[in-house]
Structure 1
Amino acid sequence: MKIKIFLIALLLMDIPVLMAQPIPKTKCLTDLFQKEQKELSQLPRLHKKGIAGIQEHTIDEIMEFWVFKHPWAKIHAICKAVGDYAYIFVEEKMWDQGFVDQDDINAVLKSFEKQTFKDSTKGIYQTDVENFGPVPNALDGDPKVYILFYDMSFYGDGAFFAFDQYTQEQIDSVYGTGFYYSNEKELLYMNAKNDVSSNLMLSVVAHEFQHMIHWNMDPDEESWINEGCAEYAMYLYGYPDPIVVFNMYPDNDLTMWDSGFGDYIQSYLFIMYLYEKYGGAETIKSLVAEPLNSIEGVEQTLINISAQRSFKEVFTDWVIANYLDVTTSYEGQYGYRNIVLPVFDASRSHSQYPIENVVGSVSPWAADYIWMNNGTPQTLNFEGDNEGSFNVNVIKIDTASQITIDSIVLDDNQNGSYEVPDFDERMKQVVLVISNQKSFGAGSYSYSSTTLTDVKENTDPPSTFSLSQNYPNPFNPSTTIKYSIPTSHQPSYSQREGVIVSLKVYDILGREIATLVNKQQKPGYYEVQFTSDNVQLTSGVYLYRLVSDGFVKTKKMILMK
């Protein structure tokens, strides 16, 4: 324990050097004691013994508080505001030295209780309670929240520490005396050396208040979910953090928190994507209340709202949305409606073909973007680590800004290929989106391309089922769909007779539009034409599904008249 405190002190000694650098926006210190917060979550929640009613504070009353700085100290603070939902205290020396004045305090109280930057009808308290859940008050029995402005003595904007939700006796029983301290009340810590009444710092109050509520609902949640929700609270206030850093380094594990600013933005974007695409504010509130954590918590929340989507499927769409951020195609699935994203950097770019073998790696639950332009018809080849769990998508954007998204079907060895016959002057760019969908270890991969005109048609029977993206797509009125039926060594499978194959077209609601194939077919490569005029369809998104011998694959196509 002493070693840990000493190391923290050493880190803090370096922080003034960091302060001289341009640092983007919010720095929350809540996760500084994330490990301890999880450990303490196993303790019972107690009412403080001997409490005789709620202690009401008065203006200019002085109280003692334990605060974290080098590493812990006891300070005196003055009560400068009493509201319906909060007491606001300021460290004496910060008040005396003029870092905070009464106008600042009045602005903080008004924002906490009356109005936010985004909504003039409700303050931070009501906004966060409505969107995340109730405030804890079991320990002191007081529904009011304490907001303490003090000299943090190191770089940080604010914090919520779970120590304050337990009695000092409970803290000492776990860690011994003299290591951690509890003020035994619902307390938010804010840096008095910042511009405390600025919209940035008021937004940080909303951020830290979410942490308090999140502790009440799910005290051992992983940092990436907790911080993502806290960043979302800043969006609700109306002054979110800028979307920077993560877009320049997208190969960043979503589920591994290391407190870099890119982590804040990455987790914020994922929570915002859930909010926009899967049920809005109620879904995020359900996620906060969900006792399962991290990926499992997201999975259960998706089940609770009947989303019929897995975490992997949502993650796949999300990494595409981060690159595209377009809401005018694919029913808005690959973009954001409430925020505007900067351009995401590609890991590599190519403008000469064919592409010789390129080796790369991508972090768990992260993505690499491989950008290509000025092309010729190519076959893209991908080879992943045999132990990996990759998902590889292809984004095609033509000169008319029409977007096509498809996936490369990978075999059991994580290998696959994809033909781009229209990669010519009609195509503005092609992007490979390579995501590593496993929880531990970077995924190694390689990719290359071969020129389509140099490749002879494969006369060997296919080894796997496949369903290709229709071409052209979007289309009007006709398009071609290719698929393959493999050989099989299953006893029930007759090479001579083949298998029953069904290929049907549906509208977006799942209603059958047309049957293209419904017969027995032998192993081989097939293609079939679909013409919309035959069924009098309107412009929109349609589905086509191949079903055969236990294989089921569905893809989207766009009719654009």
Structure 2
Amino acid sequence: MDSNLFLAYGLLRWPTPVVLIVLLLSSISGTDAQPRCGTYLLTSSQALHKTVNARQSTASFQIGDPLTVPAFSFRQGLRYQTTTTCRWVGEHCYIFVEDEIWKTPRITKKGIESLAVAFDQSTPIHADQGIYQTTTGIFGMPPDVDGDPRIFIVVLDIIDSVISGTFSGYYDTENQQPPISREIVYVDSNPIDLDSNLARATLAHEFQHMLHWAADPDENKWLDEGCSEYAELACGYKDTTATSASGYLQVPNLLRTSDPSLLIGSSTGISSEASWGSNGFFLPILFDQSFLLVTYIAEQYGHPAIGSLVADPENGTASVDNMLGGLEYEERFWDVWGNWISAVFLDQEEGELGFRQLDVGKVRRDTLGVPSDMQTYSLQLWGVDYFVTDGEAGVAGLSADVSSQSDLMAVIINSVEGGYTSSAITIPGGSVRRIGSYGPGHRVLAFTRTSDRSEVYSFTLSPMEGTTPAACDFDASGLVDLSDFIEFVSIFGKAANQPGYDSSMDLNGGGSVDFADFLIFASNFGTFP
């Protein structure tokens, strides 16, 4: 078939919003995308997962044995058959190479051996254990539908798509059911050099998808992809310099690109399709965001926490809550999410507000003067806007009146003597919330949208002392009343950087919501700001 017909046919098979989004992101970046995982474009079904329980007896393979395997064409969006031959038998893997690329310059004995050694024996992080041992120790054991403990690594020339880009590898869950019934991961040979960190990183990434599917077949894509990205880091193949996750850091909110003149309307589908769910289309740029979040969780709570996330039958944020509860932490997902937003901005070397393994580059931020009249922006679901405040008119405090039809979280980062504090404040959709941070310091505001009702949010910025009546009017109703008191009581006793702390109620900026703040609130109760 003519290549143009291939392309046209492929375009017809992908949903229209997907095509629009991919084209749009290509226009934003202005460069060709790097090879990436293709697993997120393939369907995964829990019904298929049930077939794993029926173990079969399969004879092992030897070097030279032929095997016809299914493969996926990203150009056409279809599966097809290709012939391969076994070229390596290791402790934990077979390596089969597509016959049509065998004896081509890109396929070398050194390249095949490097994949085998990495999978079975050694990684940059662990000289005495390979990808198999490292990843199964974190994420759990693989499925075994064929009764053969070895994993099939198929090296082939993946049929890429002009629209969705170049793919370094993938894992297809359909291979777990008859008539295939094998554990297979696919690694590309063109343009990837098999004797490269990218090839080995791809192997770790795709193998994690297999492990994750074995434990939780309908996992949300953000957590599955985030774990696969983290598998690369855990094995030592991930970039840890300031260029790591640069795609996300440059555009943390897809509705506000690095080019302020480029307007992205809701008609592109980007607001609803930029989804973390199990069914929504997972945008390539979210690989970086998910990687940073899972890495943050791993650093703060350890590898047992990651194993618990993968094993939990719930999905996404619910599994984070279950993991934290099971390990007897006070925090829940929203606490982690708020601290992560601060950590991406600050990247401290120690503590909760940074990363130990990564040198995180500068995330996109805007500077706003104080005071500022009504600011209105569009915010992608789970995207983040960062604002650095400039000039608070000599007043030791900052207040913002925030509103949206969608649920929001506002994060206030405040520089204090000896470090920073972070306060994450939930703002229900359809309400107005006055948030604040009082006392000396230089402040950063971040906003993230957590529900899908509206992409628009607004806020004003005002210099404000915490002792004023307006600071105590938390719902901005024009009266300091019982509803404000209920808000205050719910936060009483919380200290900075503890779960649930809200700097809006820390009226004296002392670092905790205590009796001194209660006296300030009581003195303003019943007043009209």
What TM-score do the two structures reach when normalised by structure 1? 0.71
Q: What's 1:357 paired with? A: 374
Equivalent of residue 286 in structure 1, options 305, 308, 313: 308
Deviation (angstroms), 1:158 = 0.5
Q: Of Structure 1 and Structure 2, which has the larger fraction of its residues in helix? A: 2
User: Equivalent residue of 2:378, what SS?
Assistant: strand
Q: What's 1:337 paired with? A: 356
Q: What's 2:292 paired with? A: 269
Q: Does structure 1 conserve the Cα–Cα contact (< 8 Å) formed by 2:405 and 2:453? A: no
Equivalent of residue 324 in structure 1, options 341, 346, 350: 346
Structure 2 Cα separation of the partners of residues 105 and 221 of structure 1:
32
User: Equivalent residue of 1:247, what SS?
Assistant: helix
Q: Cα–Cα, structure 1 residues 9 and 87, in superposed 2: closer, same or farther, change >3 Å?
A: farther
Stretch deviating more after TM superposition (408-417 or 298-307): 408-417
Q: Cα–Cα, structure 1 residues 80 and 527, in superposed 2: closer, same or farther, change >3 Å?
A: closer
Q: What's 1:307 paired with? A: 329
Q: Does structure 2 conserve the Cα–Cα contact (< 8 Å) formed by 1:327 and 1:333? A: no
Structure 2 Cα separation of the partners of residues 126 and 487 of structure 1:
59
Q: Cα–Cα, structure 1 residues 489 and 529, in superposed 2: closer, same or farther, change >3 Å?
A: closer
Structure 1: gaps of 5 or more residues: 169-182, 467-484, 494-498, 511-524, 531-541, 553-561
Superposition pairs of residues 78-117 of structure 1, within 5 angstroms: 78-117=85-124
Structure 2 Cα separation of the partners of residues 282 and 408 of structure 1:
29
Q: How many residues align?
A: 459
Equivalent of residue 70 in structure 2, options 58, 66, 82: 66
Q: Does structure 2 conserve the Cα–Cα contact (< 8 Å) formed by 1:408 and 1:416? A: no
User: Equivalent residue of 1:357, what SS?
Assistant: strand
* Higher alpha-carbon Rg: 1
Structure 2: gaps of 5 or more residues: 1-8, 161-165, 255-273, 500-504, 522-529
Q: Cα–Cα, structure 1 residues 208 and 403, in superposed 2: closer, same or farther, change >3 Å?
A: same
Superposition pairs of residues 394-433 of structure 1, within 5 angstroms: 394-397=412-415, 402-406=419-423, 413-418=431-436, 422=440, 429-433=442-446
Q: Does structure 2 conserve the Cα–Cα contact (< 8 Å) formed by 1:131 and 1:285? A: yes
Corresponding letter in the other structure for 1:191: D
Q: What's 1:166 paired with? A: 177
Structure 1 Cα separation of the partners of residues 347 and 143 of structure 2:
38
Q: Cα–Cα, structure 1 residues 284 and 23, in superposed 2: closer, same or farther, change >3 Å?
A: farther
Superimposed CA distance per residue, residues 298-354 of structure 1 (whole angstroms, 9 cap, x where no aligned partner): 1111111111112111111111111111245xxx111111111000101x3224x43
Residues 1:434 and 2:447 are matched in the alignment: yes
Q: Cα–Cα, structure 1 residues 333 and 120, in superposed 2: closer, same or farther, change >3 Å?
A: same
Identity of aligned residues (%): 22
> Which has the bigger relative contact order, CA under 8 A and spacing at least 6?
2
Deviation (angstroms), 1:262 = 2.1
Deviation (angstroms), 1:266 = 0.6
Q: What's 2:457 paired with? A: 445
Q: What's 2:220 paired with? A: 222
Structure 1 Cα separation of the partners of residues 79 and 172 of structure 2:
13
Corresponding letter in the other structure for 1:431: V
Residues 1:29 and 2:51 are matched in the alignment: no
> What's the Cα RMSD here?
4.2
Q: What's 2:155 paired with? A: 149
Corresponding letter in the other structure for 2:460: S
Superimposed CA distance per residue, residues 341-393 of structure 1 (whole angstroms, 9 cap, x where no aligned partner): 000101x3224x43122112323333211122244235644344464332323
Q: What's 1:513 paired with? A: none
Structure 1 Cα separation of the partners of residues 286 and 12 of structure 2:
26
Q: Of Structure 1 and Structure 2, which has the larger fraction of its residues in strand? A: 1
Corresponding letter in the other structure for 2:308: S
Q: Cα–Cα, structure 1 residues 546 and 298, in superposed 2: closer, same or farther, change >3 Å?
A: farther
Deviation (angstroms), 1:119 = 1.5
Deviation (angstroms), 1:395 = 2.2
Structure 2 Cα separation of the partners of residues 255 and 105 of structure 1:
35
Deviation (angstroms), 1:149 = 0.6
Structure 1 Cα separation of the partners of residues 134 and 489 of structure 2:
56
Q: Does structure 2 conserve the Cα–Cα contact (< 8 Å) formed by 1:45 and 1:166? A: yes
Structure 2 Cα separation of the partners of residues 109 and 313 of structure 1:
41
Equivalent of residue 45 in structure 1, options 52, 60, 71: 52
Structure 1 Cα separation of the partners of residues 168 and 497 of structure 2:
47
